[in-house]
Amino acid sequence: MIINDSDSPVLFFDGVCNLCNQAVQFIIRHDKKKIFLFAPLQSEPGQKAIAHFAGKAPDSVILLYKQQYLVRSDAALYTFRLLGGLWTILFAAIIIPRFLRDALYNFISRNRYKWFGKKNECMIPTPDLMNRFLSK
């Protein structure tokens, strides 16, 4: 299922997770070319992305890039790669076996609400960022 016809990578994130929201804010600040689009997993586009996984999607982040869904540590590392600049250095961690990278990712994901808290509702983008979000 393709839900993004453009070449822009789309980051689907847990809209109520404080850590995820901070990560989105970080990406927005460092995305100098403004290539990323965003959508909370709780939104209609986010639910379509989750449906692609037949109920086995991660509940924290999914990256749609070049018509392919990336999850967990792959999504995080490719996001750094796409940010460019010095952030691409972090992509070198791709050489670590996925099961080890994903084990760390899953540990953080399982504890993110306890460590960072959560909101009662999804982040609402500012008017100047609205065009970078797939959901309103």
| Tens of pLDDT, residues 73-84 | 999 999 999 999
Nearest-angstrom CA–CA distance, 12 and 49: 8
Q: What is the pLDDT of residue 105?
A: 94
Q: How confident is the model at residue 135 (pLDDT cuts 50, 70, 90)?
A: low
Question: pTM of the predicted model, to two decimals?
Answer: 0.87
Note whether 71 and 57 are within 8 A (CB): yes
Q: If phi over 0 gives left and psi between -120 and 50 gives alpha, with beta otherwise, what is residue 65?
A: beta
Q: Which of 4-18, 23-37, 109-123 has the highest mean pLDDT?
A: 23-37
- b/e map 37-48, b = 16+ CB within 10 Å: bbbbbbbebbeb
Q: Which amino acid is at 92?
A: A
Mean pLDDT of 40-69: 86
The pLDDT, as a whole number, for residue 129 is 80
Cβ atoms within 10 Å, residue 93: 14
Amino acid at 103: A
Look at residue 1 in the predicted model and tell me its pLDDT: 35
